[in-house]
Amino acid sequence: MKKYTWRTGVLEAVMILVTAAFVFPLWLLVSVGFRPSAEVSLNPVAPPSSLYLENFSTAWEEGGLGPAFINSIYITAISVAILVVVGACASYYFSRSRGKAGLRWFAIVAAGMMVPFQIGVLPLYRVITDLGLAGNPVSLIIFNAGIHLPLTVILYTGFMRQLPAEYEEAARVDGASSFQTFWRIVVPLLLPVTGTVIVLDGVSIWNEFFTPLLYLGGTPNVTVPVQIYSFVGEFNTHWGQVFAGLLMASLPILLLFFAFQRYMIRSFGSGLKG
């Protein structure tokens, strides 16, 4: 298992081939970003002929992506932080409370996933405007913290149910309170699933287009996707700039993922054994 055998080598080759086939559409996306829009129109699937960077500078400057990045980072970070804290605490109760109460509450929250979001759009927006929050990034944070709770809770509760309870029982015997047990024993074991939660919630929040447009459109607080969509026209679309903008927008999330998935593996191993 620990050694890199010839079988591992074969597996590696196969996986690289599979991934290469898989990322072909991604390659199209990247190549469009590096070509002038007119050239893309003539042949959408050709590779870039030179290192053309104008799309990036136009998207960044004319599209106002700089301030939008700051808004997006701020909104995503706070929303995800709230989701992680609130979701992990609640899932501890859902997965460990005695009797059926925890399970019932869990089922109610998890059922939130099943609701088509269109049903609640108008009533929620009315509440937001009545609170005077329309245009304020806080409105979007509230929305994110609520709308992604079901997924967060499903992930946390699912993984906590698989965690052995003995460590917690041992801590209890040693006289630790509920909070101490949760903080010292459970939280360190949650790191891998927290990585998953951060990445999955982070991606959906970062990419969200409709609600940021509805809540924040026209203010200086809009997010990156809202800005990128302003390049998508009814009749004429500047695809070069759209794709350049999208590449810039995707990069932070992919880096986050790259960082987290390495971290996930190490921390879990040591958390369990240590």
Rule CB under 8 A: choose which of 55, 72, 76, 181 binds another protein: 181
Contacts 24+ apart (CB under 8 A), 78-81: 78/141, 79/140, 79/141, 79/144, 79/145, 79/148, 79/201, 79/205, 80/197, 80/198, 80/201, 80/202, 80/205
Is residue 205 a contact point for another protein (CB under 8 A)?
no
Binding to another protein, residues 182-201 (CB under 8 A): 182, 192-193, 195-196, 199-200
Binding to another protein, residues 55-74 (CB under 8 A): none
Is residue 253 a contact point for another protein (CB under 8 A)?
yes
Are 209 and 230 in contact, with CB atoms under 8 Å apart? no
Are 142 and 216 in contact, with CB atoms under 8 Å apart? no
In whole angstroms, the minimum distance from the beta carbon of 56 to another protein comes to 16
The set of residues, in sequence order, having a beta carbon less than 8 Å from that of 253 and lying 6+ positions away, is 199, 202, 203, 206
CA distance 226 to 33: 18
Number of chain residues interacting with another protein (CB under 8 A): 148
Rule CB under 8 A: choose which of 154, 190, 205, 248 binds another protein: 154
Binding to another protein, residues 72-111 (CB under 8 A): 78, 82, 86-87, 89-90, 92-99, 101-103, 105, 108-109, 111
Determine which helix (DSSP H) or strand (DSSP E) holds 176, and give its type and residue range. none
* DSSP class of 117: G
Rule CB under 8 A: choose which of 50, 122, 174, 274 binds another protein: 122
Is residue 29 a contact point for another protein (CB under 8 A)?
yes
Rule CB under 8 A: choose which of 34, 56, 60, 239 binds another protein: 239
Question: Sign (positive/negative) of CA torsion 127, 131, 135, 137?
Answer: negative
In whole angstroms, the minimum distance from the beta carbon of 66 to another protein comes to 16
In whole angstroms, the minimum distance from the beta carbon of 72 to another protein comes to 13
